[in-house]
Amino acid sequence: MHYSPQMNQTILDALSRQFSAFHKTLNNRDVASKESEQLAVEFPEQGMGFEQLDQFIETNVQPNLSASNGGRYWGFVTGGANPVATYADWLVTTFNQNVSKGGDSVASAIEQQTLAWLCELFQLPQTFKGIFTTGATAANLLAAFTARQYAGQQQGIDVAKSGMKHLDVSIFSTTPHASMIKSLGLAGFGQDNWQPISCNADEESMNIAALENNADEESMNIAALEKALMKCSANSKIIIASAATVTGTDYDDLIAISALCKKYNAWLHVDAAFGIFERLISGTEGKTKGIEHADSITLDCHKWLNVPYDCGVFLTKHLSLLQASCEVTAPYLAGIFNETSFITASKL
Ligand SMILES: *Cc1c(COP(=O)(O)O)cnc(C)c1O
């Protein structure tokens, strides 16, 4: 498809107009649109042309959009996109790189560099490698796949290839995010097939003073976890920890949990979608202390980094398990997998 330079310029000018018009309204626009029904427009036999389309969007669509991109939106814990992050997002679309094949483009190296920077920012060991995802839900889904592959590896089963029929695994968690429960369903474990470990607020041992201090009520009770692990006879064990829970903003004790994971040979996934940002204030000795011992971590950039929705991150110390759980061979894909596309680019 070839557009003339003038047409490209017309489109860019229109984009810039829409951007300014929309951003100008963000401080006053309703955060929920009154008009969210589908537009009753018949499928046209002929296109209306770009300028009319642009006008149509400005007149009919813009007025009925939410101000979720602004500072007054509290519907979810997503942040609005900064203009400079929007610019970056537009560039990604403009360049439109196909990165399924390592070596075609510098794009994958930039992705790996950025992930390495995030590890540096959060003071996580550079042994964590990973991938950007469409949000924390997708990262939690990759976590379920990778943990599943790990359990299979312990039991001599390549789950990606032969399924999980013979897999013997128990999953433990206290207050998993809804997206983690959904992911357990999508990954074939079953949404209800995990053992709830009581939270600290349930335990009599929790003293009232601690509760009044808003101590981590939704967090996992460590003694209860150890009891459950001791009783567990499954061949593989997976622990899903929170840093932090979305309703109570409570952090699991990751030092204690990771020590138990080591003792009982269990996989540790930490959903740190928005809670990781506490690490920027308190460093490695704060509420996320111990997250560095996790096998995998979920992060969410569209929570506090003000990048456009959607953008999450999945990190793991066991990249080969992630690869094994997701890769497939086909004649048209033969030989294109390139390990270097997964390795941090040192040249950038
Ligand atoms: C937001 C959030 C998710 C899901 O994130 P999406 O990016 O909306 O998919 C998962 N876990 C936690 C703890 C979250 O806060």
**Cα separation of 315 and 104, whole Å?**
24
| pLDDT at residue 337 in the model | 53
Locate the ligand 1 atom nearest the alpha carbon of residue 275 and give its number. Answer: 13
Q: At what angle do helices 254-264 and 222-231 cross, to 10 degrees?
A: 10
**Cα separation of 293 and 252, whole Å?**
13
pLDDT, one tens digit per residue, over 103-136 is: 789 998 999 999 999 999 999 999 999 999 999 9
Closest C-alpha residue for ligand 1 atom 3:
136
Residue 142 in contact with ligand 1 by CB distance below 6 A: no
Token digits of residue 119:
């590890």
The pTM (predicted TM-score) of the whole model is 0.92
Q: Name the residue ranges covered by the structural domains of the chain.
A: 5-75, 95-342
Dihedral sign of CA atoms 57, 60, 63, 64 in order: negative
| pLDDT at residue 77 in the model | 82
Contact status, residue 266 vs residue 238, Cβ threshold 8 Å: yes
In one letter, which amino acid is 64? N
In 72-166, which ranges are continuous DSSP H helix?
A: 83-95, 107-121, 136-154, 159-162
What is the b/e burial string over 301-338, where b = at least 16 CB atoms within 10 angstroms of the residue's CB? Answer: bbbbbbbbbbbbbbbbbbbebbebbeeeeeeeeeeeee
**Cα separation of 235 and 295, whole Å?**
18
**What separation in Å is there between the alpha carbon of 72 and the centre of ligand 1?**
20
- CB under 8 Å to 190, separation ≥6 — which residues? 184
| pLDDT at residue 104 in the model | 83
Residue 179 in contact with ligand 1 by CB distance below 6 A: yes
| pLDDT at residue 21 in the model | 95
Dihedrals phi, psi of 68, to nearest 5 degrees: -65, -15
Residue 228 in contact with ligand 1 by CB distance below 6 A: no
Contact status, residue 145 vs residue 322, Cβ threshold 8 Å: yes
Residue 336 Cα distances to 16, 161, 167, 172, angstroms: 39, 20, 31, 38
- CB under 8 Å to 129, separation ≥6 — which residues? 112, 115, 315, 316, 317, 319, 342, 343, 344
pLDDT, one tens digit per residue, over 267-322 is: 999 999 999 999 999 999 999 999 999 999 999 999 989 999 999 999 999 999 99
Angle subtended at Cα 24 by Cα 79 and Cα 18, rounded to the nearest 5 degrees: 90
**Cα separation of 240 and 221, whole Å?**
13
Residue 274 in contact with ligand 1 by CB distance below 6 A: yes
Residue 137 in contact with ligand 1 by CB distance below 6 A: yes
Residue 312 in contact with ligand 1 by CB distance below 6 A: yes
Whole-number CA gyration radius for the chain: 23
Token digits of residue 184:
């357990």
Per CATH, is 95-342 categorized as 3.30.420.40? no
Contact status, residue 212 vs residue 205, Cβ threshold 8 Å: no
CA nearest neighbour of 176 among 188, 193, 152:
193
**What separation in Å is there between the alpha carbon of 243 and the centre of ligand 1?**
11
**Cα separation of 247 and 239, whole Å?**
20
Dihedral sign of CA atoms 316, 150, 242, 223 in order: negative
Per-residue pLDDT of the chain (348 residues; tens, 9 = 90+): 689 999 999 999 999 999 999 999 999 999 987 777 767 788 889 999 999 999 999 998 998 999 999 989 888 888 899 999 999 999 999 999 998 776 789 998 999 999 999 999 999 999 999 999 999 999 999 999 999 999 999 999 999 999 999 999 999 999 999 999 999 999 999 999 999 999 988 765 555 555 555 566 899 999 999 999 999 999 999 999 999 999 899 999 999 999 999 999 999 999 999 999 999 999 999 999 999 999 999 999 999 899 999 999 999 999 999 999 999 888 887 665 554 444 433 333
Pairing relationship of beta strands 169-173 and 195-196 according to DSSP bridges: parallel
